[in-house]
Amino acid sequence: MKTADKLLIRALKGEALKSPPIWLMRQAGRYLPEYRGTRAAAGSFLELCYNPVLATEVTLQPIRRFGFDAAILFSDILVVADALGQKVSFEEGRGPVLEALKDGKDLAQLGLGRFHEHLGPVYETVSRIRAALPPETALIGFAGAPWTVASYMIEGGGSRDFAKVKQWAYGHPESFGLLIDLLIEAVVDHLAYQVEAGADGVQLFDSWAGILPEEQLFHWSLDPMVRIAKDLRERHPKVPIVAFPRAVGPAALMYRRPDTFAALSIDTGIGAHWAAKELQPHICVQGNLDPIMLLAGGEAMEREATRILGKLGHGSFVFNLGHGVVPQTPPDNVARLVEIVRNWKPGA
Ligand code: CP3
């Protein structure tokens, strides 16, 4: 099946479908016993990301189980920092750990010299997934947006207040801008290579956009994402780009740019009703079930999923979560959610 005919791509191109397509952020992961098995066989999380056979396997696991409309490449946003030359590791129970960049001088150690070679296994994974997927299933490539990746690179991992990255960005915008420029170039290459290997569309994750005040948000989150979209479109004019600026509230309106992004992925904090009124007439909306509703399951989940479908299911819409599936989620709840979305009828 051609890219343009797949349900997910039709929705991203603005079509209102009778039954909206569904996939879930972090649909491959620790909540699946088969993922935990493959993960143990791979060794570390990064070894799994760089092993094309095993990364393909974990990408396909949720497709086999639930028949989602899209697979998302199994990888991580931090492989870009790793490929630029920063030391990255994932520690059990701690999440990502990076050798933090301290000032402008540390930027000199980073570069695009080995980028493509380092990420070769990721692009091989994309083509293996492509070859193994059912023809109607779309394949989504992705990257972290520069602000979020820079946050991890400067904080050295997760953070409570993001004081280091903010201080750098606010106090030394010229040198911070150099890091953002490097990330823009790296992300455009990374996404273009994924498209060339067989991705039907791409998503930009700006998970930490919501911690920035408005003017800084424009400068360090929106502007880099727009530049990435423009540069990628020059190389691949038709590729749909989904923007996920998490937790930005009504500033989501700044990202409502149908000439630049095909869709906006909305977190749980944005009301479905508001999104239907303010966003959906202009751009495809993706989201926004609370991942903890999926964990809770039962009637509460059914009611909430049906409510979201009632608000957004009449326009161009991709059913998803407001953020990733959490590890404690019972797989049966996911199966039930897919059933609810598949059986929903507009007007119901
Ligand atoms: O969605 C998918 O199924 C595709 C795979 C995917 C992963 N990470 C796998 C992963 C995607 C799209 C990501 C994106 C990502 N990675 C983001 C943006 C989205 C978001 O969640 O906000 C961020 C911020 C990261 C960085 C990252 N990677 C963190 C903070 C962590 C630790 C938290 C955790 O859940 O352990 C990771 C690890 C990670 N990335 C895991 C998976 C499946 C868990 C690793 C394991 O198996 O132990």
Q: Which tokens hold the place of 246?
A: 């998490």
Q: What is the pLDDT of residues 122-171, one digit of tens each?
A: 999 999 999 999 999 999 999 999 999 999 999 999 999 999 999 999 99
Q: Which residues pair with 129 in a beta bridge?
A: none
> Can you spell out the DSSP letters for 104-117?
HHHHTT--STTHHH
pLDDT of residue 348: 59
Q: Could you tell me which residues come within 8 angstroms of residue 334 by beta carbon, excluding any fewer than 6 positions away?
A: 24, 27, 31, 62, 65, 66, 294, 325
10 is known as an active-site residue: no
257 is known as an active-site residue: no
User: Ligand 1 mean position to 298 CA, how many Å?
Assistant: 26
State how far the Cα of 307 lies from the Cα of 313, in Å rounded to an integer.
9
State how far the Cα of 57 lies from the Cα of 307, in Å rounded to an integer.
34
User: Ligand 1 mean position to 95 CA, how many Å?
Assistant: 9
CB atoms within 10 A of CB 302: 15
Residue whose tokens read 């690179």: 153
Structure confidence at residue 93 as a pLDDT band (50, 70, 90)? confident
Considering the candidates 31, 152, 193, 255, report the single residue annotated as catalytic: 152
Q: Decide whether any atom of ligand 1 lies within 6 Å of the 96 Cβ.
A: yes
State how far the Cα of 235 lies from the Cα of 231, in Å rounded to an integer.
7
State how far the Cα of 26 lies from the Cα of 205, in Å rounded to an integer.
12
Nearest residue (by CA) to ligand 1, atom 34, is 95
Q: Decide whether any atom of ligand 1 lies within 6 Å of the 255 Cβ.
A: no
State how far the Cα of 319 lies from the Cα of 133, in Å rounded to an integer.
20
Q: Decide whether any atom of ligand 1 lies within 6 Å of the 205 Cβ.
A: yes
State how far the Cα of 283 lies from the Cα of 276, in Å rounded to an integer.
10
> Can you spell out the DSSP letters for 260-311?
T-SEEE--TTS-HHHHHHHTTTTSEEEEEE-HHHHHH-HHHHHHHHHHHHHH
DSSP state of 160: S
User: Ligand 1 mean position to 347 CA, how many Å?
Assistant: 36
CB 271 within 8 A of CB 293: no
Q: What is the pLDDT of residues 217-231, one digit of tens each?
A: 999 999 999 999 999
CB 212 within 8 A of CB 247: no
Q: What angle do CA 265, 269, 272 make, to 5 degrees?
A: 65
Q: What is the pLDDT of residues 63-83, one digit of tens each?
A: 999 999 999 999 999 999 999
Nearest residue (by CA) to ligand 1, atom 31, is 95
Q: Decide whether any atom of ligand 1 lies within 6 Å of the 27 Cβ.
A: yes
Reported pTM: 0.98
End-to-end CA separation in angstroms for the chain: 31
CB 121 within 8 A of CB 50: yes
pLDDT of residue 346: 87
Considering the candidates 69, 76, 82, 189, report the single residue annotated as catalytic: 76
